[in-house]
């Protein structure tokens, strides 16, 4: 009888451990599923970016989505340069591309953030180093205005004469 009771207790202990491990696995799976659902909800949330585009030199800045299309031939800017508040989904951000005019090349981006109280500061983090610009954004409109400047220089001013 003792052997049988010991065997039953051992079997119950094994079953309890299996049940506990199964519960942990089930809970881990549920947490992972909930995390994926939250990520999906975050991707569907609106993101906001309040921006204005400036062009130094001659060229164009155009977003891949229908937000900005700002150009300058040297006598002032024209087109859709803002300022405006852009609302977008995380997987479709208002990424901009700098397009130089003939005889010009894109040199770099500059950005200044103006706070709602009028104070200004540079953009946090490093500036993009290529012709494409995308900035951080958030799930709410903070009232900050980012002025993004595409700086174009004449090709003749380039020391090595190579246009990227």
| Domain map (residue ranges) of the chain | 1-44, 46-157
CA torsion through residues 63, 66, 68, 72, sign = positive
> In this predicted model, what pLDDT tens digit does every residue of 118-164 receive, in sequence order?
999 998 888 888 999 987 778 889 999 999 999 999 997 555 545 55
Please answer whether residues 94 and 68 qualify as being in contact, where contact means their C-beta atoms are separated by less than 8 angstroms.
yes
CA torsion through residues 155, 160, 163, 164, sign = negative
pLDDT at 123: 87
Task: Band the pLDDT of 90: cuts 50, 70, 90.
Answer: confident
> In this predicted model, what pLDDT tens digit does every residue of 45-65 receive, in sequence order?
899 999 999 999 999 999 998
């Amino acid at each position: 009888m003792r052997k049988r009771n010991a065997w039953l207790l051992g079997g119950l202990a094994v079953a309890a451990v299996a049940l506990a491990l199964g519960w942990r696995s089930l809970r881990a799976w549920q947490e992972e599923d909930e995390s994926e659902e939250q990520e999906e909800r975050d991707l569907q949330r609106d993101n906001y970016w309040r921006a204005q585009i400036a062009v130094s030199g001659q060229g164009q800045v155009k977003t891949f989505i229908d937000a900005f299309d700002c150009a300058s031939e040297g006598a002032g800017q024209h087109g859709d340069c803002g300022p405006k508040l852009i609302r977008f989904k995380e997987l479709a951000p208002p990424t901009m591309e700098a397009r130089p005019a003939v005889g010009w090349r894109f040199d770099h981006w500059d950005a200044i953030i103006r706070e709602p109280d009028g104070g200004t500061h540079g953009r946090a983090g490093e500036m993009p180093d290529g012709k494409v610009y995308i900035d951080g954004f958030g799930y709410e409109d903070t009232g900050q205005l980012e002025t993004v400047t595409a700086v174009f220089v004449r090709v003749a001013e380039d020391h090595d004469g190579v246009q990227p």
